[in-house]
Amino acid sequence: METTTLLNIPIERTRHSGLGGVDWNHLAFGQHNADHMLLSDYANGAWGNPQIVPFANFSLSPAALCLHYGQTIFEGMKAFRLPDGKINIFRPEKHYDRLTISAERLCMPVVSREVFIGGLSRLVDLDRQWVPATPGGALYLRPFIIATEARLGVKISDNYRFAVVSSPAGPLYPQPLRVKIERSFVRAARGGTGFAKCGGNYAAAFYPAKLAKEQGYDQVLWTDGKENNFIEESGTMNAFFVIDHVLVTPPLSDSILDGVTRDSLLALAARAGIPAEERPVSVDELQAAFRKGTITEAFGAGTAAVISPIRTIGIDGVDYDLPAYNDLGQEPAIRSGRNGQVPVHIRLRTTLDRIRYGLEPDPFGWNHIV
């Protein structure tokens, strides 16, 4: 656990807080924005002084490069309210590292680590009343950088805006998903931008997901861009399986996003003595595992929903069902799976939540306290 230094920067406070309009017991994801945002603009080769201002629309030239050529990157992270009222920002260092990796791929400059973490901490401190006190709630933080130079020609922008906005989120206990293994479309190809959190990756994923929905699925399980045979990700989450009692996830590559949740779950599994492997998972292996009954769990992992259990996987027109686990993480009503054992995804999620909400020690130094 680290206590974060707050960056000393100019703050313009809102005169119209939106706090009064929030129904804390019925929060839809992304419905409200907290009162303030952090801004810094890049021009003449340098970032200007960061500042915090009331949440408001940007003014942008219609010719701004981000609007035409997709030079945008973002992060998604969360802050949690601890029992003593302090706020915990989860793993901002790892999110900063990833932002720099995305920035390099998109030829964008990135603010200093000090501005990112210190500024974020100052923003969370100012908007701390926006961090839900409801069980399972969190403040979702969205740092992003966009190309702002006004120029219709295709080029690397000379001007950028870094901003952080935030949105309170209620507990998310996602319904188990029906997913389809995507064999035609690809999310990311070797040499592409799959490892970067850049806007274009998401727009390009809408159409296959829309087709999957029309076929009665909630999402697609992406396969590799070369053979369409190895699992890559589950929608916009990292994919995990439990096969023969081993937690399995595809290895990182340039077509897989290095998820902070993925990394955290692997660390927790190692500590709990749950066998885990980062290795390629082929569609054939999944099919065989369903036939033999050795696959017991499948789920997506990411910051927004934490863990999204999968109940059905569609492989080339045939649906394969997984054992039903209900009440994900909703203690004390955790239902056990086969052999009376608590499913791996529920064990991992429970531990992750307990660390983030300060209910058990944080041996990894993940929590940044504001």
Ligand X SMILES: *Cc1c(COP(=O)(O)O)cnc(C)c1O
Give backbone dihedrals phi and psi of 221, rounded to 5 degrees, phi first: -95, 115
For residue 318, how many other CB atoms are within 10 A of its CB?
A: 9
Q: How many whole angstroms separate alpha carbon 110 and alpha carbon 28?
A: 31
Q: How many whole angstroms separate alpha carbon 113 and alpha carbon 351?
A: 28
Rounded to a whole number of angstroms, the minimum distance from the CB of residue 238 to ligand X is 5
Residue 298 CB-half CA count within 13 A: 29
Q: Is 4 in the site for ligand X (CB under 6 A)?
A: no
Rounded to a whole number of angstroms, the minimum distance from the CB of residue 195 to ligand X is 9
Report the chain's C-alpha Rg in angstroms: 21
Contacting ligand X (CB under 6 A), which of 236, 255, 296, 367?
Answer: 236
Beta carbon nearer to ligand X, 64 or 276: 276
Contacting ligand X (CB under 6 A), which of 147, 260, 305, 346?
Answer: 260
Q: Give me the amino acid identity at 103.
A: A
Q: Is 18 in the site for ligand X (CB under 6 A)?
A: no
**Under rule CB under 6 A, how many of the chain's residues touch ligand X?**
13
Q: Give me the amino acid identity at 250.
A: P
Structure tokens at 6: 């707050």
DSSP state of 106: T
Q: Is 302 in the site for ligand X (CB under 6 A)?
A: yes
Q: Is 257 in the site for ligand X (CB under 6 A)?
A: yes
Contacting ligand X (CB under 6 A), which of 166, 193, 219, 303?
Answer: 303
Q: Is 238 in the site for ligand X (CB under 6 A)?
A: yes
Q: How many whole angstroms separate alpha carbon 179 and alpha carbon 219?
A: 5
Q: Is 232 in the site for ligand X (CB under 6 A)?
A: no
Beta carbon nearer to ligand X, 52 or 306: 306
Q: How many whole angstroms separate alpha carbon 308 and alpha carbon 234?
A: 9
Q: Is 223 in the site for ligand X (CB under 6 A)?
A: no
Rounded to a whole number of angstroms, the minimum distance from the CB of residue 225 to ligand X is 14
Q: Is 233 in the site for ligand X (CB under 6 A)?
A: yes
Which spans of this chain sit near ligand X (rule: CB under 6 A)?
76, 197, 233, 236-238, 257, 259-262, 302-303
